[in-house]
Each structure stands twice: as structure tokens, then as C-alpha cells.
């Protein structure tokens, strides 16, 4: 991969899209992870106003510290970047403590998704108020491979600058951009679970294995696979199938003309 050329291409794409949509710049949520660090830096390099938001919810100290480090690193290098830290722990707890119908069993995943959606709401409050685009931080393996994102949470964005890059390629960009070493070396995590489990612990496979599975799955010819490869392919295939609804528009119930009076035809 021509890393420098890829960076220049994405930066130019960001500038053109903002101009096309008559927006002022970008809003990016930073988590202390590699994807948000690279995305926020690419947005900053576009030269337009950028607001980076650190939105902790019961955040593990290391994750919070890395997010602050990334923010400070950006602001020391780019005059067009400003930051906001908005602690969403209290709103999260307020919703969590709502009394639901008796017998309703709320699963841990529902709380995790709620946290992600609270951050999306906050990002859009800021972006709408400043005429900015919300820049997504998902990569190709997560977004289009296994759907490792929350529907209407971190999947709720206006643009996706790095969604055509594999995780390994995101790391290449991070190294070229001189992203803080603490972020480059941190284990990828969504930061949504109380036990601070990593992405790979949640998924059951490493990103290198998932990249192999993505390429193998797309080719449609698996060949001879060893036991671990079979296990990884099973993980990838199931997550890929189960997450397709996240990438599609909600189904619309189309009513037959015969059941409607004075249907308005839109040409």
C-alpha cells in the first residue's frame, strides 16, 4: 500500500465531500483507540474545523487517558482542531435506572448498545449545532466484514473515511501519521464493557485472522482449512450474515394501490 498516497486521497475526499454538502468540517468521537485516532487526524489534515469529543461512560482510566493524549496531540499540531469532554455517565445511569415493565429482563448488551447510542446522540447535537459532518471511525473488517458496531450507535455517521481499510492498513496509516505510541500499542477495545474486554476477546478471533477470513470469504473458495481456520471462518461467516441488517435500510411495507384511496404518485 502506498500509505502517503492513501492519506492524501482520503484527505482530499474529505474536503470535497464537505464542500459538496456545504458543511463547515467534522465532528469525531475519540476513544483512545487506533481507529478514532487515525480518523480524527485525517479530518484535521483536511484543514477544516474539527471538533473532537471525548465522551466517557464509566471509562477505564487508560482509555480515557489515551483519548486525552490524542486530543492534546491533535491540538498541538492543528490550529483547526478544538476539543470537548462530555461525561455521559450520569445520563447513562439515569436511563439505566428507569423502571421497566415488571418481568422485563434487560441484557448486558442492551446497556452496551445504549452507551454507544448516547454517544451518537451527543455527536449529532454538536455537529448539528456547528454545521459539521459526523465522521465514522469503523474500518473495513468491522463495518463490512463482521458488523462489529452498534446500529444507530457508532454506526450512525455521515461519512466513513477509513471503512475501506483493513485494520492492519489503519495501523500503517497510524505509524506514518506518527500517532502517539500508547495508542498504536493499545489493545483494540470498544470501551463499552465494565470488564474492559478487548475486541478480539469479544469476537473470538484476532484481527489478522478476521482479515484472512474476509479475503477467503469474498473469494468464495475455502480450500483445505485446518481446525483453527475452520473455527475462524465459522465465527466470521455467522457474524457477517447476522449483521447484514445493519447495512440495509429498514424494510418498508408497500401497500397495494387497491387498498389505498387517492395514492399520491411521486415521479
Convert the pLDDT of each residue in 25-70 to its tens digit: 999 999 989 999 999 999 999 999 999 999 999 888 888 999 999 9
Name the domain count of the chain: 1
Scan for cell 471511525, then name that residue: 137
Cβ–Cβ < 8 Å for 17, 133 = yes
Residue 75 lies in a domain: yes
Residues spanned by the domain of 91: 3-193
- How far is residue 104's CA from residue 185's CA, in Å, rounded to a whole number? 41
Residue 87 lies in a domain: yes
pLDDT tens readout for residues 127-171: 999 999 999 999 999 888 988 889 999 999 999 999 999 999 999
Q: Nine-digit cell at 79? A: 490550529
Residue 89 lies in a domain: yes
Residue 175 lies in a domain: yes
- Please tell me the pTM assigned to this model: 0.88
Instruction: Residue 12: give its domain's CATH number.
Output: 3.40.50.620
Residue 115 lies in a domain: yes
First to last CA, the chain: 45
Residue 19 lies in a domain: yes
4 or 264, which is more confident? 4
Q: How confident is the model at residue 106 (pLDDT cuts 50, 70, 90)?
A: low
Residue 250 lies in a domain: no
Give the pLDDT score at 100: 73
Please state the separation of Cα 101 from the chain's center in Å: 32
What DSSP line would sit under 29-49, residue for residue? E--SSHHHHHHHHHHHHTTS-
Residue 45 lies in a domain: yes
Q: Which residues touch 181 (CB under 8 Å, ≥6 apart)?
A: none
Q: What is the DSSP letter of 245?
A: G
pLDDT tens readout for residues 179-234: 999 999 988 777 667 667 788 888 889 999 999 999 887 776 677 888 999 999 99
Task: Say yes or no to pLDDT of 267 above 50.
Answer: no
Amino acid at each position: 500500500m502506498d500509505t502517503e498516497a492513501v492519506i492524501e486521497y482520503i484527505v482530499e475526499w474529505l474536503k470535497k465531500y464537505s464542500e459538496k454538502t456545504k458543511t463547515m468540517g467534522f465532528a469525531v468521537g475519540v476513544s483512545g483507540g487506533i481507529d478514532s485516532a487515525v480518523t480524527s487526524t485525517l479530518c484535521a489534515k483536511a484543514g477544516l474545523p474539527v471538533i473532537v469529543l471525548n465522551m466517557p461512560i464509566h471509562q477505564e482510566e487508560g482509555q480515557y487517558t489515551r483519548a486525552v493524549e490524542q486530543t492534546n496531540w491533535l491540538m498541538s499540531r492543528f490550529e483547526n482542531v478544538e476539543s470537548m469532554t462530555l461525561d455521559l455517565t450520569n445520563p447513562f445511569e439515569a436511563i439505566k435506572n428507569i423502571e421497566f415493565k415488571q418481568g422485563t429482563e434487560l441484557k448486558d448488551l442492551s446497556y452496551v448498545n445504549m452507551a454507544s447510542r448516547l454517544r451518537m446522540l451527543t455527536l449529532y447535537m454538536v455537529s448539528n449545532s456547528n454545521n459539521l459532518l459526523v465522521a465514522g471511525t469503523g474500518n473495513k473488517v468491522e463495518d463490512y466484514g463482521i458488523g462489529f458496531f452498534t446500529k444507530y450507535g457508532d454506526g450512525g455517521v455521515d461519512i466513513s473515511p477509513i471503512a475501506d481499510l483493513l485494520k492492519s492498513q489503519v495501523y500503517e496509516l497510524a505509524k506514518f501519521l506518527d500517532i502517539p505510541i500508547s495508542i498504536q500499542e493499545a489493545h483494540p477495545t470498544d470501551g463499552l464493557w465494565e470488564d474492559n474486554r478487548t475486541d478480539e476477546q469479544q469476537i473470538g478471533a484476532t484481527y489478522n485472522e478476521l482479515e484472512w477470513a474476509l479475503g477467503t470469504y469474498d473469494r468464495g473458495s475455502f480450500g483445505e482449512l485446518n481446525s483453527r481456520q475452520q473455527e475462524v471462518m465459522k465465527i466470521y461467516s455467522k457474524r457477517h450474515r447476522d449483521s447484514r441488517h445493519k447495512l440495509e435500510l429498514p424494510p418498508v411495507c408497500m401497500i397495494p394501490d387497491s387498498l389505498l384511496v387517492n395514492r399520491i404518485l411521486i415521479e
